[in-house]
Amino acid sequence: MFGLEKKDLRLLLIVVALVVLAPFILNPFPVGSDLAQFNAGYPDLMQRFVIFGIFAIGFNILFGLTGYLSFGHAAFLGVGSYAAVWMFKLLSMNVLPAIFLAVVIAGIFSLAIGYIALRRSGIYFSILTLAFAQMMFAIAYSDLIGNFLRTSITGGETGLQPKVSDPRILDAVVSSGQTPTAGLFGVEMRDSYVWNLGDWVFTFNFGYYFAGLIMVISFYLSIRIFRSPFGMMLRAIKSNQTRMSYTGLNAKPYTLAAFVISGMYAGLAGGLLVAMDTQAGAERMFWTASGEVVLMTILGGAGTLIGPVLGAGFIKYFENIISKINSTILHQWFAWLPDGLEDFIVAVIYPFVGKGWHLTLGLVFMLVVIFLPGGLVQGGQKFAGLFRRKKSKDAKDGATTPAE
């Protein structure tokens, strides 16, 4: 089905199920309970799960298949965001033209940067991509081009967003005086349906499911790339590029194509970020954003299909949930303990939550790299292997031995 093997189709169906059932999976605890702090089923966070999943899927096509480590992929995320905002300002608040332009512009930038950066490999390639990304961040943050043209292009440090006064030649004039919002043929991205089921509250957001559909399509395309002859060539480059050159094959066109495809995925993610929150800022192009997608891919499992999606969800969960746990919440959780013991437990845990969530993430990342080099996917495979071995052992023990 869909040109996929049985194993790949199963993975695709798992991703579809996770996207569809996310409002239930991410809200396991009733509202008002002490554990409701761990619920993550609200629209903004669910949107970020799938959008950064797209970002990580694209980065994995470059890093996971070719082994080329880019430290500047956030530049294409930012370029896609700015392109989408300008489409909102000039043409329409419909998200489809904005996303299309974001992908195209990110592809052009990645072609230009990749053509230069891919003249080097290894650490030199990584440093070149980082340098280009930081140059683009500095240009966007200072609005250098806008200052030269005497008009705002990126909005500088305040960012860029649509305004009521923008021309938008395909949209009717907005008369309410409010900042326009992105939508799809009359349906706004922020529109939601809230379902109260006893003490549980489930939110079904249109913007999330729109981004989720695009992520499913992106994931399907990544499977086809992984299983294609082009994907096999990229694996050959990662395995031994020197030996490949001895056969007479030129690896440069393949690595450049992978770089451009990966950059277009990043632009797609940047366009979707603006579709959900119509503002673009230079902070999306900073080197820490590029480092974040590297962590997502390695944590989930570089070179695997579903690993980057899991890694993106894991890191965004830590960033938005664990970071909100403060000392007051911890004291509420351990209020049943004697005062001295309660204070001790809170003092031990507090450095790892709230503002210290990076410490917890760093420890988890270190443990994964040491014990699970294949990332969360390898951990899942080992966990599933325990049950398979147990089942095989039970079947062997239950087998009858023929009489002699």
| pLDDT (tens digit per residue) in 156-197 | 888 888 888 788 887 755 545 566 788 898 888 888 999 888
- Is the pLDDT score of 113 beyond 70? yes
Least reliable range by pLDDT among 1-15, 98-112, 122-136, 248-262: 1-15
In a domain, 313, yes or no: no
Per-residue model confidence (pLDDT) at position 172: 59
Separation of alpha carbons 285 and 132, rounded Å: 10
Best CA proximity match to 247, nearest among 116, 122, 239: 239
Cβ-proximal residues to 147 (8 Å cutoff; 6+ apart), any chain: none
In a domain, 10, yes or no: yes
In a domain, 377, yes or no: no
Q: What is the pLDDT of residues 32-51, one digit of tens each?
A: 787 888 888 889 999 999 99
Tokens representing residue 33 in the block: 């309970």
Separation of alpha carbons 102 and 85, rounded Å: 9
- Is the pLDDT score of 97 beyond 60? yes
Domain encompassing residue 115: 6-286
pTM value is 0.91
In a domain, 324, yes or no: no
Tokens representing residue 233 in the block: 């060539």
In a domain, 320, yes or no: no
Considering 19-23, 89-93, 329-333, 364-368, the range whose residues carry the highest mean pLDDT is: 19-23
> 386 or 404, which is more confident?
386
In a domain, 191, yes or no: yes
What are the two backbone dihedrals, phi and then psi, of residue 378, each rounded to the nearest 5 degrees? -65, -40
In a domain, 404, yes or no: no
In a domain, 126, yes or no: yes
pLDDT band, residue 402 (cuts 50/70/90): very low
Cβ-proximal residues to 351 (8 Å cutoff; 6+ apart), any chain: 359
Q: Considering its fold, how many domains does the chain have in total?
A: 1
